[in-house]
Amino acid sequence: MRLPANIRRNLRLMRIGHILATHGLAALAVRMRLFYPYVWLVQLFRGDELPKDLGPQIRLVLEQLGPTFIKFGQMLSTRVDLLPMDVALELKKLQDDVPPEPFDRVCRVLERSFKKPLTGEDGVFASFDEQPIAAASIAQVHFAELKDGRRVAVKVRRDHISKTIESDLAILKLLASLFDRYFSEYRRLKAPRVIEEFATTIRGELNLRAEAAHASRFAENFAELEGVRVPDVLWEYTHHEVLTTERISGLPIDERQALEAAGHDCLKLCERAAILFFHMVFVDGYFHADMHPGNIFVAENGDIVLVDFGIVGRLDIKSRRYIGEMLVAFLQEDYRRSAEVHVEAGYVPADTDISAFEDALREIAVPIFNRPLADISIAELLLSMFAVTERFKMETQPELLLLQKTMVVIEGVARELADQVNIWMLARPLITSWVTRHMGPVGKTEAIAGELRDQLRDWMRLPEKIDGVLSRIEEGNVSFHSEPSRLPIVIGAMLIASGGAWLAWSAAHQASTPIMIFAALLTGFGFILTLSRA
């Protein structure tokens, strides 16, 4: 008989309290009111052989709590804006290593998805290997052969994993709310928001059709990029719980000795990795955000082959310009310009003391750039930069954290391939050229044109916005006295709109087309500002 949901939840919370108490974190459980009489009792009888440092304690707790919590810890390892550096580095040791799913469950998922037997005369596949080649917490991969002779790799989601993850997410949300309530001094960490971000990421990994779409988009983006490819997706054999791609053969990119024995030029592979990173981040603004060596292979012909597209990062053109100019400024050791770029991008407040911010950037960057060329780490630089966010009130940018995680992996891969070469120096000409193109006169003209297009699009939506405001007024949902601080802004916006309308009327009488265009834009801006503040 299945226990009621509230009883299951309480038993799960008791187990969490027990694990915290037996791993040196009883004080945390007590303060969060997690069955604290029981926790104190457990604390009395536990041994003293556990590590004393906070980082290892947290890592061991997450490993005990299972796959969802391990993935959460992996995500937290990139959040040095939230955690002390030593804890974040310790959480990087978390491995998503779980035993494979029994084959009868894998078969059940496949037959449920395809609505036919797995093999046999009426089956989907000619043959299917029962032993997986890779297993993780959400899915595992098997080799198979289609009836037309094509060899494929089949990624199968674990049976009922969705229910398990949703149950764990509910527990995590409850723990976040308790942490927010009982640790008021740490509310700046925004624990509930962090859990929401994590929930969005892990739910995205559950949908294998979405992963197939990511793979398809990467294949299009890499079409003109020499020496990089993505396995073809077989859409007719892909469902929400199953992803089928062509089977690739190759060596993991971190096995340098095997690559050299196979005749591959590791320096050329390192250069290709630099070009790949540059292309994803700056050209496409769409990058693979889980590029550990197990997801990067080298084919027999030397091509780099990427797999596993469950997590992707996206960067709009403004973010790409910011990152490019920031990297160039750091590579040129121009810390004043790097500080100014942060302010111009809006990532730190406009009233930030530029001189103090420059000193903070210099403090973390100079020791890194004083190392031998091969040891310079831009990923470490970003990691340290995020650590000063609280001091200068720099808002957390999730896409930059994903990018930093990708940089760490790319740097590690490059060092394995060619330990005397710095990947960022290889990419420097590409980045400098891109920044010159996009931050020069042509790029600035395109940026202004893009902003004007956005303003025009908003202006064209004025009738829709006016209808919305009128509807709110009719429904009594608009209060003109609830926020007095907005009144001067609304009045000013109305004056702008009125001034623009008067200027347009005057220009019409004088037949001045340029003034009429300017007046129309001014009027539209005034109306948009008025409606947005109403």
- Which residues are tagged catalytic? 290
pLDDT of residue 219: 95
Report residue 240's pLDDT band, with 50, 70 and 90 as the boundaries: very high
Apex CA 351: angle with CA 484 and CA 337, to 5°?
145
pTM as predicted: 0.73
Question: Taking 60 as the threshold, does the pLDDT of residue 501 lie above it?
Answer: no
Burial call 359-397: b when 16+ CB within 10 Å, e when fewer: ebbbebbeeeeeeeeeebbbbbbbbbbbbbbeebebebb
Phi then psi dihedrals of residue 255, to 5 deg:
-95, 80
The tally of CA atoms less than 13 A away on the side-chain side of residue 459 is: 16
| Average pLDDT of every residue of the chain | 79
pLDDT of residue 369: 81
Phi then psi dihedrals of residue 470, to 5 deg:
-60, -40
Give per-residue pLDDT as tens, 348-357.
888 889 999 8
Question: Taking 50 as the threshold, does the pLDDT of residue 381 lie above it?
Answer: yes
| Token digits of residue 33 | 């009111």
The tally of CA atoms less than 13 A away on the side-chain side of residue 500 is: 18
Q: CB-based burial of residue 317 (10 Å sphere; 0-12 exposed, 13-18 middle, 19+ buried)?
A: middle
Give per-residue pLDDT as tens, 289-317.
888 888 999 999 999 999 999 889 898 88
Give per-residue pLDDT as tens, 410-459.
888 888 888 777 777 777 777 777 777 776 666 666 656 666 666 667 66
More confident residue, 452 or 167: 167
**Is residue 449 within a helix (H) or strand (E), and if so which, with residue range?**
helix 441-460
- CA 350 to the chain's CA centroid: 26
Give per-residue pLDDT as tens, 23-74.
888 888 888 887 767 776 776 666 555 667 788 888 888 888 888 888 888 8
More confident residue, 31 or 514: 31
Lowest mean pLDDT, pick from 156-160, 250-254, 468-472: 468-472
CATH architecture entry for 98-189+205-247: 2-Layer Sandwich (3.30)
Report residue 534's pLDDT band, with 50, 70 and 90 as the boundaries: very low
Return the domain boundaries, the chain: 5-95+190-204, 98-189+205-247, 250-439, 447-533
Report residue 473's pLDDT band, with 50, 70 and 90 as the boundaries: low
* Region of residue 403 (phi > 0: left; psi between -120 and 50: alpha; otherwise: beta): alpha
pLDDT of residue 429: 79
What CA–CA distance (Å, rounded) separates 444 from 344?
A: 14
Question: Taking 50 as the threshold, does the pLDDT of residue 487 lie above it?
Answer: no
